[in-house]
Structure 1
Amino acid sequence: MSRIPLIIDCDPGVDDAVALFLAFAAPDALDLLAITTVAGNVSADQTARNARILRQIAGREDVPVYAGAQGPLVREPVEAGHFHGETGLGDLALFEPGEPVAPGHAAQAIVRLVMARPAGAVTLAVIGPMTNVALAMALEPAIVPRLGRIVAMGGARREGGNVTASSEYNIHADPHAAGKVIGSGVPVVLLGLDATHQVRATQARIAAIRALATPPALAIAQLLDFSVRVEKVLVGWDAPPVHDPCTIAYLLAPELFVTRPARVGIETASPLTLGHTAVEFRLEDLSAATVHWATEIDHEGVFALLLRRLAP
């Protein structure tokens, strides 16, 4: 299997961290061109630092980290430290990373990396607000037909929202950017709450990850322990959903996922439903759909994949 040239755009974040560790652990399948970071779960400075900390824990300093947008395109910033901790990485012990961020803005890096490769070659995994990607498309519209696809965590339909009654955090944090990206015509796979709520960090699954005893596995177990405590207090769940790693799992094992062609619109005008994803499956021509919406995930398969990849 040839490796997928991949850029991960993220705002680490507890579940972003798990996604990054999974990607770092798959060098045979993923050609990680860059990690680009954006303000989201915590500030832009913190997300750039967190990505470099996670990179160092995984021993993958070969992957450059580019810092990006300091805030959304239009709306005021909406952070999620109450779910991810003040630092964004729960109660994980932080340190000053040994390697700095790479020079240049994340949006510029996305443009450069996409334009340097053949059309259709580069995949984007987007697991935070879509600000950097929207900025890159505005900076160089020619990347739109050159991108292979975008696999993104974002949105909600039947599950309702996790920020408001109808909006999921990644879309809600920058709905204007999401509207530009999803409406661009680039092939998009959207893994929203309808699917990611099926993937839960049970105590047994966390214990199995901890038992691997590698630095990334121990970090993941600690992060998920934090998520269990927070979700229990804020939401009442015993086993929190693990959203962002689903994007990397999709790239590594798409057979674990069921998706449907859809038309997806993003609400940007209504204060009440800002960031709502209007998902319409009733299409005249299914083959013309550029968005595929995930409806089901083999959650056992996702955790088996995670354990297999993290194993020493």
Structure 2
Amino acid sequence: MTLRIILDCDPGHDDAVAILLAAGNPHVEIAAITTVGGNQTLEKVTRNALGIATLAGISAPIAAGCATPLVRDLVTSPEIHGESGLDGVTLPEPAMELDRRHAVDVMIDVVMSAEPGTITLVPTGPLTNIAMAMRKQPEIIGRVREVSLMGGGMNLGNATTAAEFNILVDPEAANLVFSAPWQVTMVGLDVTHEAQATPDVVDRFRELGTPIGNFVVDLMAFFIESNKLEQRFTAPPVHDPVALARVIDPSIVDTLNAKIVVETEGTYTTGMTLVERRPWINHVSTTHVATGLDVAKFWDLVIDSIGRL
């Protein structure tokens, strides 16, 4: 079965790996790539998306979306991703033009023109574009196959003690996405922290002997140092492709069916994803939480897919 996806992203080193995974995997068709302000400004992450698409030979439409969150000022992450959003590599000049439509409109057009249940949304940045598309065209909620997002966490944060970065940037948008009546899986820090680019993993990309394999090696060189400096990881967690990997092969990620809400008003807990885990509560919900990762299977999938490019 071919999986048709919209990859909504803010590239970002780990977003770049997710895009390359999508481009190289034979079971994935990229229906569109949409960008959102997050790891860096909208202008910078959109330029990065165009460069990665050129590198990978992606021909799907690429559209820029929301530059700022629904009600807050944008917070970026130059300490992790650099001033360009992809420091450490040189991207080619884009071989395609940016789609003139707003990303929200591209998302709506793709979902509404496809057969119901055939488009999967894979957001790997703040959820602003997804929330705006829901508001502008509520019918997409019933037509999307599922939403598999990188964000949140049950037990820890990274941007603050309580909150993961993507959710913290736009908690209001995240709360809208989690509360809508569609299938949503939150692939958060509880599992993505296990997806580390260890020296063995980096060597496997180097051994591909391809320009894109070497590009990933260069990506990881900067990412290793920024994560070591800022978050004390000896090997950086490559968060975003995990959300796509579970769509391609659900056996890679264990999940729990549970209600999720996002704190939007807490003095110290804004952006926290609260997962209902009390055993005496009815856990039937349209939201799911990633709880475990088959690390070996994950990296086999990513490296095999990127090796095909």
Question: Above 0.5 in TM-score?
Answer: yes
Shift of 1:95: 4.0
When structure 1 is superposed on structure 2, of 231-240 and 144-153 the one drifting more is 231-240
Matching residue of 1:19: 18
Q: Does 1:145 align with 2:137?
A: no
Q: Secondary structure at the match of 2:93?
A: coil
Which amino acid is 2:33 matched to?
I
Q: Give runs of aligned pairs for residues 288-299 of structure 1, distance below 5 A.
A: 288-299=284-295
Shift of 1:222: 0.8
Q: Between Structure 1 and Structure 2, how many residues are aligned?
A: 307
Matching residue of 1:189: 185
Matching residue of 1:157: 154
Shift of 1:285: 3.5
Which consecutive residues of structure 1, in runs of 5 or more, have no partner in the other structure?
A: none
String of CA shifts for 1:35-66, please: whole Å, max 9, x gaps: 00000000101111100100011112x11101
Q: State the distance in 2 between where 1:49 and 1:138 align.
A: 27
Matching residue of 1:90: 87
When structure 1 is superposed on structure 2, of 275-284 and 169-178 the one drifting more is 275-284
Q: Give runs of aligned pairs for residues 91-170 of structure 1, distance below 5 A.
A: 91-158=88-155, 160-170=156-166
For the aligned residues, what is the CA RMSD?
A: 1.2
Q: State the distance in 1 between where 2:289 and 2:238 align.
A: 18
Q: Secondary structure at the match of 1:246?
A: helix
Q: Secondary structure at the match of 2:296?
A: helix
Q: Show structure 1 runs of 4+ deviating over 2 A.
A: 281-286
Q: State the distance in 1 between where 2:249 and 2:117 align.
A: 20
Q: State the distance in 1 between where 2:93 and 2:53 align.
A: 12
State TM-score, norm by structure 2. Answer: 0.97
Percent sequence identity over aligned pairs: 36
Q: Is the 8 A contact 1:73 1:131 kept in 2?
A: yes
When structure 1 is superposed on structure 2, of 210-219 and 137-146 the one drifting more is 210-219
Which amino acid is 1:126 matched to?
P
Which amino acid is 1:264 matched to?
I
Q: Does 1:213 align with 2:213?
A: no
Q: Give runs of aligned pairs for residues 170-249 of structure 1, distance below 5 A.
A: 170-249=166-245
Shift of 1:81: 1.2
Q: Is the 8 A contact 1:58 1:215 kept in 2?
A: no
Matching residue of 2:3: 4
String of CA shifts for 1:181-200, please: whole Å, max 9, x gaps: 11111100110000111111
Q: State the distance in 2 between where 1:30 and 1:208 align.
A: 22
Q: State the distance in 1 between where 2:115 and 2:92 align.
A: 38
Q: Give runs of aligned pairs for residues 262-273 of structure 1, distance below 5 A.
A: 262-273=258-269
Which amino acid is 2:11 matched to?
P
Q: Secondary structure at the match of 1:5?
A: strand
Q: Is the 8 A contact 1:246 1:302 kept in 2?
A: yes
Which amino acid is 2:217 matched to?
A
Which amino acid is 1:297 matched to?
L
Q: Is the 8 A contact 1:155 1:191 kept in 2?
A: yes
